Amino acid sequence: MAEPVMAQRRPAILELEVGTYFWCQCGRSKNQPFCDGSHKETGEFTPIEFQITEKKRVALCQCKHSGHKPFCDGTHKSLAVA
């Protein structure tokens, strides 16, 4: 299985409105942290759909290795620097 591309070594802190969102799991999207369809080139990744039921501030993972995808769990702090 292919490894995702680390988009950033920090979370995206965003204020999201109520709605459905698609988080980029491959790291190739030009619209990080959201999917733009770039995963189709990999044949291995699909976006993760998530719902926001009330307007709130979130920390979305951009290292693509969180154990709580799409949300940041701090995993980026322990990843080796390439």
Domain assignments of the chain as residue spans, ordered by start:
15-55+65-78
What pLDDT is stored for residue 80 in this prediction? 78
Nearest one of 6, 1, 3 to 63, comparing CA atoms: 6
Q: Give the chain's mean pLDDT.
A: 94
β 56-60/12-16 pair status: antiparallel
Mean predicted confidence (pLDDT) in 11-20: 98
The CATH code for residues 15-55+65-78 is 3.40.5.90
pTM of the complete model: 0.91
Distance CA 6, CA 32 (A): 11
pLDDT(2) > 90: no
